[in-house]
Structure 1
Amino acid sequence: MRPPAVVAPDGINGEYVAVPEDAVPRLRRSAGTAGIATTAEMSHGEHVAAVRAGEIGSMHSWELVTAVDGPGTRMTVFLAGCPLRCLYCHNPDTLRMRDGEPVAVDELLRRVRRYLPVFRATGGGLTVSGGEPLMQPAFLGRLLRGAKEMGVHTTVDTSGFLGTHASDALLDDVDLVLLDVKSGLPQTYLRTTGRELAPTLDFSRRLAARGTPMWIRFVAVPGLTDAPDNVAAVADHVASLATVERVEVLPFHQMGRDKWERLDLPYELGETPAPEPADVERIRAQFRDRGLTVF
């Protein structure tokens, strides 16, 4: 018997097509900035004022994904700019805000509106990632507010390093946070990201105190983040957060290496292999041993 059809967009032109329901989780359509108009010419002063007001943001790309960046089928928007310099970053082309495309928040929300039937059919919504979305809190806040006014489920994918940039009003419009906890030991975090660990831990505690659901993401990098004591430090902290719904252990891969080379950036992990399955399972077990749901 043929599975029932649901409505899903093609991800490029915004047209809706019927697809079997069991095919939806396999959809992953990347569109760059296609279909979302960039801002018209304006004076430098006008542009700066619009950015400060959150009316214009710097966007790298967007794509349609399922079961990757939160529940259901989601429109994931990648904003440009990030304060971290993670050695394993697979999107180094999102690190600088000036390299993104200027996009009006209203234009982006028009694209979100076109996918309302998809979100309702699949339990999906909008995910804002990066880069680091909290580099642009005014724009992020307007985008989330507009999505919530449409009844859209909202997710923010963040390292938490800039958690102080998120006002309580902004967080009121967030249904789920995908929090990347890159290390549990301060020195390992500094080596991995070039930044301090404490802001991420502080932000996670703030989210838990607010009752904000979290999915924790941890990247297992051989020789960098996979040491048992580092994993234990992450697991102990995460287990103390009452609103963590799941932990995703993500094995390191070399899929972003070509981007580093194209950007002529030094890539330190060129000789680092993917972790052995047994090591990934050991890491997952360390989280499970603390009563956490692990994927």
Structure 2
Amino acid sequence: MHSIESFGTHDGPGIRMVVFLQGCKLKCLYCHNPDTIDTHGGKEYHVEELVQMAIKKKPYFGKKGGVTVSGGEPLLQSKELIPFFKRLKEEGIHTNIDTNGRLLNHFTEELLDEYADLVMLDIKHMTEEGYKYITGKKNKETTFTFAKHREASGKKMWLRYVLIPGITNKPELLHEMGAYFKDYKTIEKIEIQPYHKLGIHKWESLGWEYQLKDARENTKEEIDAAVAILQNYFKEVKVN
């Protein structure tokens, strides 16, 4: 594990305990937690220790809140998350996974189908070229295979999309994404994440070059235009 946020308000419904796991196979250009990428870092916790933390916070969760596991990429530890989420469900605590959707094996499927009340799926880009540019990896289709599996399960899903001027905020890409997902029944909303540079100092402290330092932040007009396009396809469009 990398860290824990006690009262997260941007990582799923309600107030949440957010567990950030260590390790990710992608190296997204805009990553604001690059210190979670290394798979060899972090601190080990026993499942029951985390469950007891969540139980103590249960009065603050209310009807909507719960536990979100993020990262890094949490599904790299799907096998270990199964007993964790199983215990949370036994305690009546809502469970959520924030993922890039690159991993789908029998452990992941059990976790998703049996114990994850919600999945927040990060859509990096709609083209193979754009996906590779942003993540450093090929095969964007893994994300869409993951989305199809979640849709088939009939369980709730949110989409997330980072809006980067000149890279992901192009109208044709937004329309393509909307058209692809418009018939999905499980998608409750899409969250737009306006591009920011808050993680640059972390890249520098790791001795890595931040390649998007010349990219600018979105204007209000650009964000409004993106929302207007996506509202044609999704029930709810939220700007984080």
TM-score range, shorter chain: over 0.9
**What do the CA deviations read for 1:183-203 (whole angstroms, capped 9, x no partner)?**
111211111112221010011
Secondary structure at 2:228's aligned position in 1? helix
Structure 2: unaligned runs, 5 residues or longer: none
* Paired residue type of 1:275: N
Residue 227 of structure 2: aligned partner? 284
Counterpart contact for 1:73–1:122, Cα < 8 Å: no
Structure 1: unaligned runs, 5 residues or longer: 1-58
* Paired residue type of 1:84: L
Residue 75 of structure 1: aligned partner? 17
| CA distance 1:291–1:110, shift in 2 (3 Å) | closer
**What do the CA deviations read for 1:81-117 (whole angstroms, capped 9, x no partner)?**
0111110000000001211112222211121121122
**Between Structure 1 and Structure 2, how many residues are aligned?**
236
Secondary structure at 2:237's aligned position in 1? coil
Distance in 1 (alpha carbons) for counterparts of 2:183 and 2:201: 38
| CA distance 1:122–1:291, shift in 2 (3 Å) | closer
* Paired residue type of 1:272: A
Say whether 1:139 aligns with 2:58: no
Counterpart contact for 2:79–2:107, Cα < 8 Å: no
Displacement of 1:291 in angstroms is 4.2
Displacement of 1:66 in angstroms is 4.4
Q: 2:124 aligns with which of 174, 182, 186?
A: 182
TM-score by length of 1: 0.77
> Aligned-residue CA RMSD in angstroms?
1.4
Q: 1:162 aligns with which of 103, 106, 109?
A: 103
Secondary structure at 1:270's aligned position in 2? coil
Distance in 2 (alpha carbons) for counterparts of 1:199 and 1:272: 27
Residue 198 of structure 1: aligned partner? 141
Counterpart contact for 1:144–1:154, Cα < 8 Å: yes
Relative contact order higher in (CA < 8 Å, ≥ 6 apart): 2
Secondary structure at 1:283's aligned position in 2? helix
**Higher-Rg member (1/2):** 1
Say whether 1:100 aligns with 2:38: no
Residue identity over aligned pairs, in percent, reads 38
Residue 218 of structure 1: aligned partner? 161
TM-score by length of 2: 0.94
